[in-house]
Amino acid sequence: MTDTVITDVTGRDGFQMEKEWIGTEDKIKIINSIIDSGIPRIEATSFVSPKAVPQLKDAKEVISRINRRDVEIIALVPNVKGAERALEAEVDSINVVLSISETHNMKNINKTVDQSIQEITEISKFTESEKINISLGTTFGCPFEGLYDVQKVSEIVRRLSAIGLNRFTLADTTGMASPFQVTFFVKRLKSAYPDAEFGLHLHNTRGMGLANVYAGYQEGIRQFDAALGGIGGCPFAPGASGNVCLEDTVHMLHLMNILDGVDLQKLIEASRELERILGYQLPGQVMKAGLSTDTHIA
Amino acid sequence: MTDTVITDVTGRDGFQMEKEWIGTEDKIKIINSIIDSGIPRIEATSFVSPKAVPQLKDAKEVISRINRRDVEIIALVPNVKGAERALEAEVDSINVVLSISETHNMKNINKTVDQSIQEITEISKFTESEKINISLGTTFGCPFEGLYDVQKVSEIVRRLSAIGLNRFTLADTTGMASPFQVTFFVKRLKSAYPDAEFGLHLHNTRGMGLANVYAGYQEGIRQFDAALGGIGGCPFAPGASGNVCLEDTVHMLHLMNILDGVDLQKLIEASRELERILGYQLPGQVMKAGLSTDTHIA
B47-67 pLDDT, tens digit each: 999 999 999 999 999 999 999
Asked if residue B295 belongs to a domain, the reply is no
* Shortest alpha-carbon distance between residue B291 and chain A (Å): 8
Average pLDDT over residues A150-166: 98
The verdict on a CB contact (< 8 Å) between A178 and B288 is: no
- DSSP conformational letter for B132: E
Continuous segment of H or E residues that includes residue B53:
none
The answer to whether residue B206 neighbours chain A at the CB level (below 8 Å) is yes
Domain of residue A75: give its range.
5-289
pLDDT attached to residue A101: 97
pLDDT attached to residue A234: 76
d(CA A210, CA B209): 8
Q: Give the residue on B whose Cα is nearest the Cα of A246.
A: B207
Q: What CATH number should be reported for the domain holding residue B153?
A: 3.20.20.70
Told to judge if A142 belongs to the known catalytic residues of this protein, a careful annotator would answer no
Asked if residue B87 belongs to a domain, the reply is yes
Known catalytic residues of B are 234
B35 closest CA partner among B65, B71, B9, B10: B71
Chain B positions in Cβ-Cβ contact with residue A251 (cut-off 8 Å): 206-207
Residue A235 pLDDT grade (very low, low, confident, very high; cuts 50, 70, 90): confident
* Shortest alpha-carbon distance between residue B37 and chain A (Å): 20
pTM of the model: 0.98
Residue A236 pLDDT grade (very low, low, confident, very high; cuts 50, 70, 90): confident
pLDDT attached to residue B233: 84
Provide the mean pLDDT of chain B: 96
Asked if residue B156 belongs to a domain, the reply is yes
Asked if residue B157 belongs to a domain, the reply is yes
pLDDT attached to residue B1: 82
The verdict on a CB contact (< 8 Å) between A207 and B256 is: no
Asked if residue A128 belongs to a domain, the reply is yes
Tens-place pLDDT, residues B231-240: 998 777 777 8
B235 closest CA partner among B12, B75, B16: B16
Average pLDDT over residues B220-244: 91
Average pLDDT over residues B29-45: 98
Nearest to A298 among B144, B252, B281 (CB): B144
pLDDT attached to residue B59: 98
Residues 145-204 of A with CB under 8 A from B: 145-147, 175-181, 204
pLDDT attached to residue B235: 74
pLDDT attached to residue B239: 78
Per-residue pLDDT at A54 exceeds 80: yes
Domain count, chain A: 1
d(CA A210, CA A232): 16
Asked if residue A297 belongs to a domain, the reply is no
Tens-place pLDDT, residues B105-156: 999 999 999 999 999 999 999 999 999 999 999 999 999 999 999 999 999 9
Question: Who has greater pLDDT, A236 or A145?
Answer: A145
Residues 32-61 of B with CB under 8 A from A: none
Asked if residue A298 belongs to a domain, the reply is no
The share of chain B scoring above pLDDT 70, in percent, equals 100
Average pLDDT over residues A202-220: 98
Q: Give the residue on B whose Cα is nearest the Cα of A106.
A: B298
Per-residue pLDDT at A58 exceeds 90: yes
The answer to whether residue B110 neighbours chain A at the CB level (below 8 Å) is no
Average pLDDT over residues A49-59: 95
Asked if residue A16 belongs to a domain, the reply is yes
Average pLDDT over residues A92-120: 97
Per-residue pLDDT at A237 exceeds 80: no
Provide the mean pLDDT of chain A: 96
